[in-house]
Each structure stands twice: as structure tokens, then as C-alpha cells.
Amino acid sequence: MDYAEERPPSRALSPEECWERIKAAPYGRIAAVAGGQLDIFPVNHGVDDDGSIVFRTAAGTKLLELTIHQQVAFEIDGYTDADAFSVVVKGTATEFDKQREVYAAERLGITPWAPEEKDRWVRIMPSEISGREFLRAPRM
């Protein structure tokens, strides 16, 4: 019997487990339509008190496309030597600039890795969240 058959099947993560993983992740990825093509953008993010995911960006293609095609998917993943996981959030992305909302988002400590100025804020209001984890096969 090979190890794949001995491992338990993937386990669905509860919504609470998914949110714990999102909060702990150093970055995530946004999947959205950009320039008529599906694209993926890495982002540094935080989770606001209202249960939304927020990130900073610069003016440009990503922000422009998010104002036109607001339906997005946000994904994080991770692994150890023993296991791996993936979490996907689907929702609606909107830019926000009200000072009260910006101050609240700034308190989340989101620090972009890229050196370009990221002075615009985007919020993803989740409509669906799912995640799974599984044991990894040992290295041979």
C-alpha cells in the first residue's frame, strides 16, 4: 500500500479556522479580471473588525479593473513538512477612502512589501469562504 492510500482524506476547515489562517498569513492573492484577462495579484492584507479583507494598492490596472469587475477571489495557502492548507474567499471588492475607514485600516498594520507607494485602499466583503487541509506525503 502506498502512503497516499494511508493518509486520511483532505479535511474541510471550519469558517473560524479559515479566518484564523487568513489573519496569520503574511500575504494573499487576489484573482480578478484585468484588461479582459483573468489575473492574479499578490497583496499584503489584514482582516477588519467587520469581517472584511482589506489591502493597499496603487492607482493602476488592478485598481481600475476592481472598480469595473468587483467580483474577486482571495486565496492564501501554507504548508509545513507534515501538512498543507488552502483557503479561498469569494466576494465583492470596493475601493474606500472615507477617513474613518482609512484610519481603521491603517491600525491593522498592513505594510506593503513592494517599494511603490500604495495609497489606495480596497475592501473585500466576503460572500463565501472555504478551506481545506491535508497531510503531505513524506519526502523520499
pLDDT digit string, tens, across residues 69-119? 789 999 999 999 999 999 999 999 999 989 999 888 889 989 888 888 888
- Domain residue limits, the chain: 13-131
d(CA 63, CA 60): 6
H helices within the chain, ranges in order? 3-6, 15-24, 61-68, 99-106
CA atoms within 13 A on the CB side of 51: 12
Nearest to 48 by CA among 60, 39, 56, 57: 56
pLDDT over 50 (residue 1): no
Tell me 9's DSSP state.
P
**pLDDT for the residue 140:** 66
* pTM of the full structure: 0.87
Nearest to 18 by CA among 130, 122, 127, 118: 130
Q: For the chain, how big is the Rg over CA atoms in Å?
A: 17
- pLDDT tens digits, one per residue of 20-56: 999 999 899 999 887 778 889 899 999 998 999 999 9
Please give the Cα distance from 129 to 50 (Å, whole number).
15
Eight-class DSSP state of 26: S
Contact 52, 90 (CB under 8 A): no
CATH of 13-131, one of 2.70.98.60, 3.40.50.300, 3.30.300.170, 2.30.110.10: 2.30.110.10
